[in-house]
C-alpha cells in the first residue's frame, strides 16, 4: 500500500531533475529496487502506471531493476546471496552477517530530451 | 494526485491540536512541503555509481543529438529522510527523547502510552503525536491522562511520514528534556520504511498474535530497537511461545532488546519504565 507514496516520491524527484536540466520530455527512467527493501516490485509498477498520468513521465519507458540481496559473513568474510533478511552464513553457519546489497530503493538514471 | 491511494484528489492529511481551547484542524498538502532541502538532493550521488555504468552507456548510446542520460543515483526516500533528520536535529537540540511506537492494530500501543503517562507524569513531561487513519479517539484518551497531544489523521495513508511528524511537532511545541511519543498507524508493514526522526523505534507485539510475527514482518523487527511483548497475563490461555518469538526476532535483528509486560495487570511494566528512564538519561 505504501508503494503509491514511493511512486510519487520517484515522480517528484525525476520531475525536479528533468526541470533542472531543462528537459522537454523524459524518455526513460530506471529505478533499482532491492529484494529486501520493503517494496513489492509488482505493486510499485502498478502504482507508477497510475501516478505518471498527466506528468512529464507519462510516456517514459519504466525500467525497474531488481537487486538481489547479498551479505558478507563477519566471521569467515565470505560473501553469499540472501533470500530474505537474515540467514546464517552457508559456509560457517554464523548468524553474525552484514547485509551488503538488497536494501536499495533508488533512481538510477533518467533519459531526457 | 493523492499520495496514498492515487485517487486523483489532492492529498490531505489532518493535524488536529487537542490542546487549544478551540480544537483546531489544519489540512496539509504533502506536495507543498516535500520540496524542502533540494540543495541536498545529491547527498548519495556517487555511492554506487560504478556498478552498471558501462551497461548504461551502451543502452543509451543512440544517435539522437539532444537525448541525454542523467545518472541520478538518488535515494527514493531522501525527502522523507531529510525531513526526519530535521526532526532529529530539533529533538537533539532540545534534549528531547523521542519514540516511534509501531505495531499491528490492537496490540496495546495506546494503552501502554496512557498508563506510562499516568504513572510517570510527576517525573517526566510527555508530549504525544497520535497517528490514525481516522478519528481523534486515541488523542482524547491521551488528553484525559493529562499530556499535550496532537492527532494526525492520515486519511487513506497507511503510515506516518517525517513531514507529518514535523507539522505535528510544530503544533505540539514540546518542552526541553521531555519525551515525545509518536504512535504510528497500526500496521506492521508500511511504517517500517519511514524514518520519522525518532531516537528509538519500539515495536509492540501481544501474545494474542502469532509468535512467528517477527519473521512474517521482518522489516519492522529489523528496524526497531526495542520489542515489547504485551498482554502476558493472557499467556495461560493462548498458544504463544515467548522464547520462540524472541528467537525469531533475534534472527532478524540481533540487536533487538525485549521487555515482557502486561499493561492490564502492570506485571513487568517497571522494566519498561526503567528502560525509558535509562534511555532518557543517556541523552
pLDDT digits (tens, 9 = 90+) for B216-261: 999 999 999 999 999 999 999 999 999 999 999 998 898 999 999 9
- Chain A interface mutation, best of B5, B6, B53, highest count of A Cβ atoms under 10 Å: B6
Provide the residue ranges of all domains of chain A, joining segments of one domain with +: 3-112
Considering only residues 205 to 224 of chain B, which have any Cβ-Cβ distance to chain A shorter than 8 Å?
Answer: 218-219, 222
Domain B78-282 class, CATH top level = alpha beta
> Distance between CA A20 and CA B137 in Å, rounded?
45
Does the structure show a pLDDT above 80 at B142? yes
Domain A3-112 class, CATH top level = alpha beta
Q: Is A15 left (phi over 0), alpha (psi -120 to 50) or beta?
A: alpha
Provide the residue ranges of all domains of chain B, joining segments of one domain with +: 78-282
For range A80-103, the mean pLDDT: 87
Counting one residue from chain A and one from chain B, the pairs whose CB atoms sit within 8 A come to 124
The percentage of chain B sitting over the pLDDT mark of 90, rounded to a whole number, equals 71
Task: Give pTM, 2 decimals.
Answer: 0.81
Q: Is B181 within 8 Å of B91 (Cβ atoms)?
A: no
Amino acid at each position: 500500500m505504501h508503494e503509491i507514496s514511493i511512486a510519487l516520491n520517484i515522480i517528484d524527484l525525476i520531475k525536479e531533475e528533468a526541470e533542472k536540466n531543462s528537459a522537454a520530455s523524459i524518455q526513460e527512467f530506471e529505478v533499482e529496487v532491492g529484494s529486501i527493501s520493503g517494496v513489492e516490485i509488482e505493486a510499485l509498477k502498478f502504482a507508477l502506471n497510475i501516478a505518471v498520468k498527466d506528468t512529464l513521465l507519462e510516456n517514459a519507458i519504466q525500467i525497474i531493476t531488481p537487486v538481489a540481496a547479498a551479505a558478507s559473513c563477519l566471521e569467515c568474510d565470505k560473501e553469499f546471496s540472501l533470500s530474505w533478511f537474515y540467514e546464517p552464513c552457508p559456509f560457517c553457519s554464523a548468524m553474525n552477517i552484514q547485509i551488503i546489497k538488497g536494501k536499495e530503493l533508488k533512481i538510477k538514471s533518467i533519459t531526457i530530451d | 494526485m493523492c499520495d496514498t491511494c492515487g485517487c486523483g484528489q489532492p492529498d490531505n492529511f489532518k493535524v488536529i491540536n487537542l490542546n487549544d481551547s478551540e480544537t483546531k484542524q489544519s489540512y496539509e498538502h504533502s506536495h507543498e512541503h516535500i520540496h524542502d532541502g533540494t540543495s541536498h538532493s545529491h547527498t548519495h550521488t556517487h555511492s554506487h555509481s560504478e556498478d552498471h555504468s558501462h551497461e548504461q552507456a551502451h543502452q543509451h548510446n543512440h544517435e539522437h543529438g539532444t537525448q541525454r542520460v542523467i545518472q541520478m543515483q538518488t535515494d527514493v526516500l531522501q525527502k522523507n529522510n531529510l525531513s526526519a533528520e530535521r526532526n532529529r536535529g530539533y529533538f537533539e537540540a532540545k534534549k528531547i527523547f523521542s519514540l516511534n511506537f509501531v505495531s499491528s492494530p490492537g496490540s496495546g500501543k495506546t494503552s501502554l502510552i496512557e498508563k506510562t503517562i499516568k504513572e510517570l507524569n510527576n517525573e517526566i513531561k510527555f508530549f504525544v503525536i497520535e497517528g490514525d487513519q481516522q478519528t481523534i479517539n486515541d488523542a482524547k484518551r491521551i488528553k484525559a491522562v493529562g499530556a499535550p497531544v496532537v492527532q494526525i489523521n492520515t486519511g487513506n495513508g497507511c503510515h506516518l511520514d517525517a513531514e507529518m511528524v514535523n507539522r505535528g511537532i510544530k503544533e505540539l511545541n514540546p518542552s526541553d528534556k521531555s519525551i515525545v511519543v509518536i504512535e504510528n498507524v497500526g500496521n506492521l508493514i508500511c511504517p517500517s520504511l519511514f524514518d520519522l526522526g525518532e531516537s528509538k523505534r519500539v515495536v509492540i507485539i501481544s501474545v494474542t498474535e502469532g509468535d512467528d510475527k517477527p519473521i512474517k514482518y521482518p522489516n519492522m523487527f529489523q528496524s526497531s530497537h526495542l520489542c515489547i511483548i504485551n498482554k502476558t497475563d493472557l499467556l495461560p490461555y493462548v498458544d504463544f511461545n515467548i522464547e520462540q518469538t524472541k528467537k525469531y526476532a533475534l534472527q532478524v535483528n540481533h540487536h533487538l532488546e525485549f521487555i515482557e509486560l502486561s499493561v492490564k495487570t502492570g506485571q513487568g511494566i517497571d522494566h519498561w519504565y526503567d528502560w525509558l528512564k535509562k534511555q532518557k538519561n543517556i541523552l
